[in-house]
Structure 1
Amino acid sequence: MTPQAFPLGQYFAQLAGDDRCLPVEVDAAFWETGVSELPPGRLVSMFESASDWAVWECHPQGEEMIIQIEGELVLILEQDGVEVRVPLRAGEFAVVPKGIWHTADAPGPGRAIYITPGEGTQSRERL
């Protein structure tokens, strides 16, 4: 593959195995079908958060790393029936343990990079 730049957000990167990094174009069908077609590995993505998340999510295949690059995010982890809040400011990161349900509040606009074991990701509506 010829080296080139990919806009993060329009593309994600799949870190597959020990030796591959695959650019993955993201479209409307990605979360329904595209993510399941990826080889095993970790998905690197970037999202902007201007409001609280509408869902809880869980990654049963491994830990997720969240790197806050702009603004602030309050990560909420559901551990043993208790909500644990972890504020993240620009330049900080947190690790979500394998199999832990989590969501987030966004006190204001911000952006974060997510390194996620995408396979088997589950979500549920946040009430």
Structure 2
Amino acid sequence: MSPQPGPHSLNQVRYIMGADGSGTTKPDSPTFYQELGQFTHQSLISEFSFDQPWPTWEMHPNGDEFVYLLAGDTDMVLWQAGVERVVRINTPGEYVVVPKGAWHTARPHSATSMLFVTPGEGTLNAEVPPDWTAPDR
């Protein structure tokens, strides 16, 4: 069944799209991700605002993630195959494609808001990627 047309606030009510293009809405809550379960063949469309580095890294093994800058200035830090890549986005409208299987985190330079289209099935979170080594700076 299709969700009510809205209006909805994406930072309060997430949109979950199935592989067939159908979707549903789900209010954000402290247990939101636990309630999603396995998240099979679905993508989560969400908005997040942050002004501190993310406390963890994440990885999506079943698809690329689309990350669109709404406001702010941040480094998206990608880790894949033992190589770190830092992509700075600071102009609203810019976006990053996080490749399938790439660990990633964000380190903002200022308060930042972003739109995410996330292939959720199998998403992993960790304090650091399993094969991560701190780069020489």
Instruction: Calculate the TM-score normalised by the size of structure 2.
Output: 0.85
Question: What residue in structure 2 maps to residue 4 of structure 1?
Answer: 6
Tell me, in whole angstroms, the C-alpha distance in 2 between the residues paired with 1:18 and 1:55: 31
**Offset at 1:39?**
5.3
Q: What do you get for the CA RMSD once the two structures are aligned? A: 1.6
2:44 match: secondary structure:
strand
Q: Tell me the amino acid that sits aligned with residue 95 of structure 1.
A: V
Question: What residue in structure 2 maps to residue 106 of structure 1?
Answer: 108
Tell me, in whole angstroms, the C-alpha distance in 2 between the residues paired with 1:10 and 1:37: 21
Question: What residue in structure 1 maps to residue 119 of structure 2?
Answer: 117
Deviating beyond 6 angstroms after TM superposition, the runs of 4 or more aligned structure 1 residues are none
Question: What residue in structure 2 maps to residue 14 of structure 1?
Answer: 16
The alpha-carbon distance between structure 1 residues 19 and 78, as it changes in their structure 2 partners (threshold 3 A), is closer
| Number of residues of Structure 1 aligned to a counterpart in Structure 2 | 126
Tell me, in whole angstroms, the C-alpha distance in 1 between the residues paired with 2:61 and 2:16: 18
Structure 1: runs of 5 or more not aligned = none
Structure 2: runs of 5 or more not aligned = 129-133
Question: What residue in structure 2 maps to residue 82 of structure 1?
Answer: 83
More strand, by proportion: 1
Instruction: Calculate the TM-score normalised by the size of structure 1.
Output: 0.91
Q: Is the 8 A contact 1:43 1:116 kept in 2?
A: yes
Tell me, in whole angstroms, the C-alpha distance in 1 between the residues paired with 2:107 and 2:21: 35
Question: What residue in structure 2 maps to residue 36 of structure 1?
Answer: 37
Q: Percent identity?
A: 32
Partner residue of 1:23 out of 25, 38, 52: 25
The alpha-carbon distance between structure 1 residues 25 and 121, as it changes in their structure 2 partners (threshold 3 A), is same
The alpha-carbon distance between structure 1 residues 37 and 88, as it changes in their structure 2 partners (threshold 3 A), is same
